[in-house]
Amino acid sequence: MRIVVAGAGAFGTGMAIALANGGADVTLLGRDEQAMKAAQRSRTLPRPEGCVLPERLILTADPNVMRDAAIVLLCVPAQALAQFLDDHRISLEHPALVACCKGIDLRTLTGPTGVISSAIGGQSPSILTGPSFAADIAKGLPTALTLACADPALGARLQDALSTPTLRLYRSEDPLGAELGGALKNVVAIACGACIGAGLGDSARAALMTRGFSEMQRIAGRLGAQPETLTGLSGLGDLALTCTSDLSRNYRYGMSIGSGTAPDENTTVEGRHTARAIAQLARQINIDLPVMAAVDGLVDGRITVARAMDQLLARPLRAE
Tell me which of 37, 102, 139, 185 is the catalytic residue.
185
Q: Is 37 a catalytic residue?
A: no
Please state, in angstroms and rounded to a whole number, the distance separating the CA atoms of residues 115 and 108: 8
* Bridging pattern class, strands 58-60 and 25-29: parallel
CA dihedral 167, 189, 28, 265 (to 10 degrees): -160
DSSP 314: T
Please state, in angstroms and rounded to a whole number, the distance separating the CA atoms of residues 185 and 191: 10
- Burial code (b: 16+ CB inside 10 Å, e: under 16) for 89-102 equals eebbebbbbbbbbb
CB-based contacts of 218-223 (< 8 A; 24+ apart in sequence)? 218/287, 218/289, 219/180, 219/184, 219/278, 219/281, 219/282, 219/285, 219/287, 219/289, 220/176, 220/177, 220/180, 220/181, 220/184, 222/285, 222/287, 223/176, 223/180, 223/285
Please state, in angstroms and rounded to a whole number, the distance separating the CA atoms of residues 1 and 306: 53
Sequence letter at residue 134: A
Active site residue ranges: 185
